[in-house]
Amino acid sequence: MSNNQDLRMKSIETQNLDKLYYSIGEVAEMFEVSRSLLRYWESEFSFLTPRKNRKGDRLFTKENIQQIQIIYNLVKERGFTLEGAKQELKKEKGALSDQFDLIDRLKAIHGRLKDLDDKLSV
């Protein structure tokens, strides 16, 4: 992934997600996509399996949101077709997930350093 693509990546800081489960509406809002698109991606990507409650409502975990972030990056930001995204995921397997985890950790560290800088500046 080039530096320009890193800068354009949808910024969902999964380190800051504090709830155990998120509704499909909350997740759709995070990514500014429709609920139907998330349901479609769920049918296309076998690894994306949110839990469902008794009513059948989808309940997304932090891991599911990280998975959606990867799909979103490939399809919406990098312009892959769904088939192309599936091939990229097969080829890269854990590397994409590791990159997102690293970015989240770096953002968290940056936030803590900024807080320290603000406290020292007072």
Please report the pLDDT score of residue 11 as a whole number: 54
Q: What percent of the chain has pLDDT over 90?
A: 54
- What CATH number labels 3-121? 1.10.1660.10
Q: How confident is the model at residue 60 (pLDDT cuts 50, 70, 90)?
A: very high
pLDDT average, residue stretch 86-108: 77
**Amino acid identity, position 114:** K
Burial-class residue 115 by CB neighbours within 10 Å (0-12, 13-18, 19+). exposed
User: What is the DSSP code (8-state) at residue 22?
Assistant: E
How far does the chain reach from its first CA to its final CA, in angstroms? Answer: 39
Binned at pLDDT 50, 70 and 90, residue 5 comes out as very low
Please say if the pLDDT value at position 65 is more than 90: yes
The tally of CA atoms less than 13 A away on the side-chain side of residue 105 is 6
For residue 120, what pLDDT band results from cuts at 50, 70 and 90?
confident
Measured CA angle at 66 (ends 60, 67), to 5 deg: 85
